[in-house]
Amino acid sequence: MPRLAVLATAFLLAVSMWPVHAATVTAPAAVAVAHAQPADPQVLAQAPVPIPVPSPESVRHYETGNILWIVSTLWGFFVPALILFTGLSAKLRDWAKRAGRYWYFTLVVYFVLFTLLVSLLDLPLDYYATFVRPHDYGLSSQLFGKWLQDELIGLALGLVVGALALWIPYLLLKKSPRRWWFYTWLASIPVMVFLAFVEPIWVEPLFNHFGPMQDKALEAQILDLAHRAGIDGAHVYEVNKSVDTNELNAYATGIGGTKRIVLWDTIIKQFTPDELLMVMGHEMGHYVLSHVWKGLAFFSALLLLGLWLVHRTAGWALRHFAGRTGVGELSDVASLPLLILLFSVFGFLFQPIGNAFSRHLEHEADRFGLEITHLNHACGTAFAKFVQHDLSYPTPGPLYVLWRSDHPSAAARIEFCNNYHPWTDGKPGEYEKDFQPLSSAGQGH
C-alpha cells in the first residue's frame, strides 16, 4: 500500500474510534433509589448504578491506546512483508538448509531464526506497549526482571510449539498442494483441543503462581454458588497477578479435567464479597454454558475459512512476486512470512466477527451471573470498578467496538445489570433450568 494510503487509513481509523463523549451521561437519579428505601434488601440489591464518567486519564488512555493499536496492527503487516519482499526469508532458508541438512531440521532452524528476528524487530513496540505504557498509567506493578522473564518464557514456548507443529502444514503442503488447507485444518482440531486442555496446567503456571483461595469464608460462598450451578468439585484458584498488574480480572479456562475458575488476587482485594460473587456467577456461566467449547468450535470454523482464503491467495502472490521474494513454492519454508502476512490480513478482516461472537458469550455469562445471584447492584458497581481500576473506557466508539471489543462496553454491561431482573415480575429466566434457585432465605449474600 502506498505510504499516503496507509496514513489515510490510519487517520480514518483514529477519527472513527474517537470516543463518543456525548454518550457518557450519568444517571444522578439512580443513586437516590438506594437511599430512598434503605430498609428493603430487594430494592438495595437492585438499586441502579450510574455509568461512570471516565477520568481525563481514562480518556487519554483510550485515545492513545487507539493510536497504539493502529501502529501495532500496521507493524504486524509490515514485518513479515519486509522479511519476505527483501528476499531475506529466502536467505534465511538457505542458511537453514546448510545448517539443518534434513527437511525437518531445515524447517526448525528456519523457524528459530525467523522467530528471533521478528521478536527483535517487535521488541521496541512490545516493550513500550506491555511495560512502559502500563507503568505510565499506574496499571502495572511489574518489575523489569519479571517482564523480561515472562517475555523469554513466551518466546521459548513459541519456539517449542512451533518446532513441534510447523512440520504438519509444510508436510501437507508438499504431499497435497491442493488440499493441504483442509488437512491442516483437520490436524489443527486435536492440537487446539490439546492446547486448551493443557494451557491451565502447563502454560499458565510458567508465568504466575496458582494456589488455593486464601479467604476461606469467601471460598465457601463461591463453592456454595458453584454447588447451585451444578459444578461440584469446581476448582477455584487464586493467582498472584499483583506482581504484574494492578488491573482486575477473573476468568474461566480449561476443558474437561482442567476446567477451572481463576481469580486474580487484585480483584479479591478490590471487590466486595457481593461483587466477587456476581463475577463468579458470570464465570460459572462460562463454565456451565460450555463457552470454552463453543469458542473452540467457532474459532475452528473461522480457521477453516481463513486457511481456504490463504490457499486461494498465496499461490497468486507467490507467482506474482517470485522474482522479488526468491520463494517459488508454498511448500518452501521461506513462504512462512507470506502465510503469516495473509493470516494477519484475513485475521484483521474477521476480527469483528470473532469479537461479536465473544461479546455474545460474555453477555450470556452476565445474564447467567445475574440470574443465579440476583445481585444487580453489585453487578453494576463491579463493572464501574473495572472502569476505575483498569481505565477501561465505558462508551467506546463504533469502530473500537467492531475491532477491539471482545467484551460488551462497561456502559452496556452496567445498563444490563440495572435493568435485567425478570424474577421481580415473576418471569422465568433464560437459564433457570441450569442451576438450583436461590432459597428465599438466602436473598443476596
Question: CB 251 → Zn ion: shortest distance, Å?
Answer: 7
Smaller CB separation from Zn ion, 244 or 362:
362
Q: Which amino acid is at 76?
A: G
* CB atoms near residue 353 (< 10 Å): 14
Phi, psi of 140 (to 5 degrees): -125, 145
Cα dist from 166 to 172, 231, 286, whole Å: 10, 37, 31
- Site track 352-381 with Zn ion (rule: CB under 5 A), x = hit: ----------x--x----------------
Q: Is residue 362 annotated as a catalytic residue, yes or no?
A: no
Ranges within 287-306 binding Zn ion (CB under 5 A): none
Residue pair 113/96 in contact (Cβ under 8 Å)? The answer is: yes
Smaller CB separation from Zn ion, 365 or 412:
365
Question: CB 278 → Zn ion: shortest distance, Å?
Answer: 12
Active-site pick, 247, 275, 283, 362: 283
Number of residues that bind Zn ion (CB under 5 A): 2
Ranges within 161-200 binding Zn ion (CB under 5 A): none
* Residue where the block lists cell 531440521: 105
Quick one: which of 333, 308, 330, 309 has its CA closest to 319? 330
Q: What's the rounded Cα separation, in Å, for the pair 249 and 267?
A: 6
Smaller CB separation from Zn ion, 326 or 369:
369
Smaller CB separation from Zn ion, 275 or 362:
362
Q: What's the rounded Cα separation, in Å, for the pair 318 and 326?
A: 9
Q: Are strands 260-264 and 250-253 parallel, antiparallel or unpaired?
A: antiparallel
Question: CB 360 → Zn ion: shortest distance, Å?
Answer: 11
Three-class DSSP category at 236: strand
Smaller CB separation from Zn ion, 265 or 362:
362
* Residue where the block lists cell 451444578: 230
Question: CB 233 → Zn ion: shortest distance, Å?
Answer: 21
Question: CB 245 → Zn ion: shortest distance, Å?
Answer: 18
Give ∠ CA 60-124-112 in degrees, rounded to 5: 135
Question: Which residues are near Zn ion by CB under 5 A?
Answer: 362, 365
Which positions are annotated as active-site residues? 283
